[in-house]
Structure 1
Amino acid sequence: MSKKIDEESHTRLSGEIAVDSLPITSVLSEQGINPVVDGNLTVDEAELVALGYKQEFKREFGLWSSFAVSFALLGLLPSIASTLYYGLGYAGTAGMTWGWIVAMIGIQSVAMSMAELCSSMPTSGGLYYAAAVLAPQGWGPIAAWITGWSNWLCQVTSSPSIDYSMASMILALHGMHSPDYVMENWHVYLLTLLIMISQSVISSMSTKFLARFNSIGSTLNSIALIIAFIVILAADNRTDNGYPRYNKSSEVWGTITNQTDWPNGIAILMSFISVIWTMSGYDSPFHLAEECSNASVASPRAIVMTSGIGGVLGWAFQMAIAYTVTDISVIMSADQPFVEYLSQCLPQHLVDLVASLTIISAFFMGQASMIAASRVAYAYARDGCFPASFLFAKVNKWTETPVNAVWLNSVIGCLILLLMFGGGVVIDAIFSVGAIAAFIAFIIPIFMKVVFVRDNFKPGPWHLGKFSRPIGCISIAFVILMVPIMCFPQYRGADLDPEGMNWTVLVYFGPMLFAVSWYLIYAHKFFKGPKVNVNDMIHHGDSQDSGSVIDGIDVVATPQDTITKK
């Protein structure tokens, strides 16, 4: 007999799970397919079964701990420090003040649209799963394939870019105290590798440990941001160098210091890459949904909280920089722009303090990024997206976490870091790749929901109501505008050379061309979208056989067996 699922996540359920009666949008929806479970499941576990997946993780994340991971991954202090070159360098202080506000309208719209998807489909596959479900008939597999690979490229480049910036800052700080020291690429590479290995070890721990560790990290990140904010505004020594205490508001808000060969409007849009990269990571609660209690409510709330709180705090910190910066051109020519900025407005001991806080925050940020990336890799390997997927779709029996997926991303990240030996411009491409890859992965399922699904989308308990479509349209318009902008080089015409080329086109679209070609040539033969992996007694409303393809979904099930929750 079918059971109605209560709002209480701790309610125990058994019997037939009526998929179409639940507030979810599943690959099994409207197929006449209902799993039957033998034993007691919580609401979260039952909804996951209805989505087509077994419960393989412990649900030891909640709203706060999910938010803690995503906020730690947001890492406002190290993110702003890492992308200062783009935010300040392309358009000056105007790009950091009202430019940030304009960019956040689009980013918050994307986050809210994503949160609505998460509430309806709370699974680790996240956007990839949503793209498969919401795509028009016959297009689910290719939509899921492109979304999944783009999202994974974002995830797998995130930790390397964070750790690269962290290592560069450590060595730049060392250079300030040792004038004879010359930073070499291999110094940065080896230190970055050490950081990534230590983060990989931590990310291989149990879910309970990771939840507590990232709660601590998020708290420390918040404290570090507040301390740095106060120090920059209260202890600057600009007056000792002949400058007023703060820059004039007319200059901060009204002066566009265009250091590109493009018109001012384009330069402002190019500066948005700083905001987009800084605000990346709010999708992490989506990927942790299978480890979160009351996931259909807590996970979308964590997404919106991360983007909203992060946007306000990030803008405030950008304002502090805009009002205290002195010589932008010198900052842009430095090996580590943020350290140079600090040295312009603070005494040396406070430069050391703020830089040290930034480094500590960066470590927690990189580690949170590695957790999110491992869940994405695990979810995609579970559905056969990678070569030798069976190796990376395993959950470690001791830690009950996807350890193999952690180390897959770590090894690939170490290989990506070899780009630094091709020059600073080449390694900088991983920042813009992370931004463009995330945006494309984010927008595909949102576009499907707004354009193709329309009123047929089944919202979860957290939804946007009548504002769903307008906010979705803003999201789509913002991404369509920004994707080509993120591929623009800083210079053009006679000023453009290989050193100044924006290598995002090659570093992102090269792997994506390989992925799409692989799908068209071979992978389409076996990849049919998310694989329903529950060993359950499936009740068909028609004569379809278990194991067939249902609306582009690969159903892997044995009707003779039942799933037992012990």
Structure 2
Amino acid sequence: MEVTTHRRDAQILAGLGYKQELHRAFTPLEVFGIAFSIIGLVPSIASTIGFALPNGGPGALVWGWAICATMVMFTAMALGELSSAAPTSGGLYFWTFKYASSRYRKLLSWIVGYSNTMGSIAGAASVQWGCAVQLVAAVSIGSGLTFTATSAQIYGVYVALLVLGGIVASTASALVARLQGIYTCLNLLLCLALIIALPISTPSDFKNDASYVFSSLPNLTTWPNGFAFVLSFLAPLWTIGGFDGPIHISEEASNARTAVPWAIVSSVGVSGLIGWGINVVIAFNMGKNMENIMASSIGQPMATIFFNSFGTRSTLAIWSIVVAVQFTMATSALVSTSRQIFAFSRDGALPFSRFLYRINPYTQTPANCVWASVLVAMLLGLLAFAGSTAINAIFSIGIIGQYVAFALPVASRLLGGVPWTPGPFNLKKLSIPVAITMIAWSVFSMVIVMFPSTPDPTATEMNYTVVVGGGWLLLCVAYYYLPVYGGRHWFVGPISNIEPIEQAERRESLSDAEKASVEVLEK
């Protein structure tokens, strides 16, 4: 049965123009696992809670999360439909090219591919940076709060973690797939432990009542209260991110047309519900002094909350698990990122594509793409030496890159004029309203995450997302229009790497519905 499923997956992929090069080692549960492990609720909330607390405290944690989780589900459903219709590792830019108007499809596909690459690398970098910060926070707690890490020390830890993550992400697909089950269990157990242990252990001095949790919006910024609350959305937007991971392992997934869309939607749904519960528990057990939490010498707001509730030894025990789970998040993010780079270089769009588009003969994985991601992430980490605000830009860049890459293929499907043939995952009458809502939310999200923390920022308070993210996009567009050597002279979109005769033979074995879907995509 498994062989038949894998053969059918390979035939569908061949119908889209690509030969099967990676092993289909991921079961549907493991496809869900890669998205859920990249989201990594407790470590991600720990990494981003510092964006929420100054902009509304408990109200931002509870209601900001609820709003964002609901709206992100529209994104998940819209991407789920596209992934079911054409499951390929380069899905986002592939769909853009196939559905967009012939006049603009090469440029739009180019922008989506580069935005997705930028967002994926920045996402993996921000996860690993958060892990490094959490690790040195543990050292600070263990030293009795006498140790404060320098930027150079944190960067050194960050580089070491990136290298370790690269080693894990370069291993065989079967091993990476089996690890997803372990990662999922660790994530769920950590969520359950926090929800149970924090209310039990928190001293009465740090407990809050329901009125404070659900109706207060303490604002430590100089923005108006309402706008400060909106700026807190960066925390849930970054946390419930990376759920496009299943798209990028489509070519390694069993029964991809069904497994991939359901993994995207279910990972966002489960994370939204459990994450809201975690935020409510934190809001009830963190005390009211937001200033002290943010200014603690520990240097990590969530670690400070744990320290106030659990004390030194218990905090170190729990925090060590948080750090370990965050590391698993980073390895899964690197796996997803490497597959996106592999697909984009397969179509010749990236510099050094010939080097990147290689399968390691020992692991049968795109190891070169893993280490290219690690190298670029190391360069992004150098922002730390420009100040804490500058390094925080990698969190926003991940969101910008993601939502550009999410919105354009959905918009192309709506406006490009190409007939739409859905896959097994089909929203039917809800499809267009969901897509329109998703596009509007994507634009809103990208604008919000580019605002600085204060209305009149200094150089150290500046939000460098505009500089770094905008600079990346400008360079990509400039590269496209570069005279003689620019992408517009040679980039033709997705390139079939399978012989036409073999492609026709494989298509004959598809069902009528699958043939119709492939024919529409080829036009």
TM-score interval, normalised by the smaller of the two chains:
over 0.9
Q: Contact 1:532 / 1:554 at 8 angstroms: preserved in 2?
A: no
Q: Contact 1:9 / 1:43 at 8 angstroms: preserved in 2?
A: no
Q: Residue in 2 aligned with 1:270?
A: 231
Q: Residue in 2 aligned with 1:214?
A: 180
Matched, 1:479 2:445: no
Matched, 1:464 2:427: yes
Amino acid at match of 1:403: A
Q: Residue in 2 aligned with 1:359?
A: 323
In the alignment, which of 40, 59, 69 is matched to residue 34 of structure 2?
A: 69
In the alignment, which of 145, 152, 155 is matched to residue 120 of structure 2?
A: 155
Cα distance in structure 2, aligned partners of 1:225 and 1:131: 37
Count residues with an aligned counterpart. Answer: 501
Q: Contact 1:252 / 1:323 at 8 angstroms: preserved in 2?
A: yes
TM-fit CA distance, 1:347: 2.2
Amino acid at match of 1:149: Y
Choose 1 or 2 for highest CA Rg: 1
Cα distance in structure 1, aligned partners of 2:140 and 2:118: 33
Amino acid at match of 2:332: A
Matched, 1:322 2:283: yes
Cα distance in structure 2, aligned partners of 1:535 and 1:413: 36
Amino acid at match of 2:458: D
Matched, 1:379 2:340: no
Q: Residue in 2 aligned with 1:563?
A: none
Q: Residue in 2 aligned with 1:491?
A: 454
1:136-167: per-residue Cα shift (whole Å, max 9, x none)?
Answer: 12211111111111111111112221121111
Cα distance in structure 2, aligned partners of 1:9 and 1:60: 10
Matched, 1:336 2:300: yes
Q: Residue in 1 aligned with 2:148?
A: 182
In the alignment, which of 399, 403, 411 is matched to residue 363 of structure 2?
A: 399
Amino acid at match of 1:283: D
| Partner-residue secondary structure (3-state), 1:532 | coil
Amino acid at match of 1:331: I
Cα distance in structure 2, aligned partners of 1:55 and 1:167: 37
In the alignment, which of 219, 243, 248 is matched to residue 258 of structure 1?
A: 219
Cα distance in structure 1, aligned partners of 2:490 and 2:233: 39
Equivalent residues in 2 for 1:16-55, closer than 5 Å:
42-55=7-20
Structure (1 or 2) with the greater helix fraction: 2
Cα distance in structure 1, aligned partners of 2:314 and 2:219: 30
Equivalent residues in 2 for 1:87-106, closer than 5 Å:
87-106=52-71
Q: Contact 1:371 / 1:406 at 8 angstroms: preserved in 2?
A: yes
Cα distance in structure 2, aligned partners of 1:476 and 1:408: 31
Cα distance in structure 1, aligned partners of 2:147 and 2:312: 18
TM-fit CA distance, 1:220: 1.1
In the alignment, which of 402, 407, 415 is matched to residue 443 of structure 1?
A: 407
Moved more, 126-135 or 86-95: 86-95
In the alignment, which of 220, 235, 254 is matched to residue 293 of structure 1?
A: 254
Q: Residue in 1 aligned with 2:192?
A: 226
Cα distance in structure 2, aligned partners of 1:116 and 1:453: 17
1:204-254: per-residue Cα shift (whole Å, max 9, x none)?
Answer: 1111111112221221121122112211122112x2xx45xx312121111
TM-fit CA distance, 1:182: 3.1
Q: Contact 1:9 / 1:44 at 8 angstroms: preserved in 2?
A: no
TM-score (norm 2): 0.92
Cα distance in structure 2, aligned partners of 1:137 and 1:264: 46
Cα distance in structure 1, aligned partners of 2:146 and 2:224: 41
TM-fit CA distance, 1:554: 11
Amino acid at match of 2:324: I
Amino acid at match of 2:84: S
TM-fit CA distance, 1:301: 0.7
Q: Contact 1:155 / 1:434 at 8 angstroms: preserved in 2?
A: yes
| Partner-residue secondary structure (3-state), 1:347 | helix
Q: Contact 1:530 / 1:554 at 8 angstroms: preserved in 2?
A: no
TM-fit CA distance, 1:71: 0.8
Q: In structure 2, list runs of 5 or more residues that go unmatched.
A: 505-518
TM-fit CA distance, 1:532: 1.3
TM-fit CA distance, 1:10: 4.8
TM-fit CA distance, 1:284: 0.5
Cα distance in structure 2, aligned partners of 1:112 and 1:396: 34
Cα distance in structure 2, aligned partners of 1:360 and 1:383: 36
Amino acid at match of 1:337: P
| Distance change (3 Å), C-alpha of 1:106 and 1:154 | same
1:437-481: per-residue Cα shift (whole Å, max 9, x none)?
Answer: 111111111112233348x21101111111101111111111122
Amino acid at match of 1:336: Q
The percent of aligned pairs where both chains have the same amino acid is 30
| Partner-residue secondary structure (3-state), 1:400 | coil
1:341-391: per-residue Cα shift (whole Å, max 9, x none)?
Answer: 212233222211221121011010011001000001101111111111010
Cα distance in structure 2, aligned partners of 1:300 and 1:175: 42
Q: Residue in 2 aligned with 1:410?
A: 374
TM-score (norm 1): 0.85
Cα distance in structure 1, aligned partners of 2:94 and 2:263: 19
Q: Contact 1:86 / 1:273 at 8 angstroms: preserved in 2?
A: yes
Cα distance in structure 1, aligned partners of 2:272 and 2:233: 13
| Distance change (3 Å), C-alpha of 1:216 and 1:333 | same
| Distance change (3 Å), C-alpha of 1:343 and 1:11 | closer
1:252-276: per-residue Cα shift (whole Å, max 9, x none)?
Answer: 1111112233222222221111111
Cα distance in structure 2, aligned partners of 1:383 and 1:233: 52
Amino acid at match of 2:326: A
In the alignment, which of 205, 209, 228 is matched to residue 248 of structure 1?
A: 209
Structure (1 or 2) with the greater strand fraction: 1
Q: Contact 2:393 / 2:465 at 8 angstroms: preserved in 1?
A: yes
Q: Contact 2:39 / 2:242 at 8 angstroms: preserved in 1?
A: yes
1:33-54: per-residue Cα shift (whole Å, max 9, x none)?
Answer: xxxxxxxx82111110111101
Q: Residue in 1 aligned with 2:512?
A: none
Matched, 1:81 2:46: yes
1:400-433: per-residue Cα shift (whole Å, max 9, x none)?
Answer: 1101101110111111111111111100110111
In the alignment, which of 471, 475, 493 is matched to residue 529 of structure 1?
A: 493
Q: Residue in 2 aligned with 1:425?
A: 389
Q: In structure 1, list runs of 5 or more residues that go unmatched.
A: 1-7, 13-40, 540-550, 556-566
Amino acid at match of 2:392: D
Q: Residue in 1 aligned with 2:169?
A: 203
Moved more, 223-232 or 400-409: 223-232
TM-align CA RMSD: 1.9
In the alignment, which of 302, 313, 319 is matched to residue 263 of structure 2?
A: 302
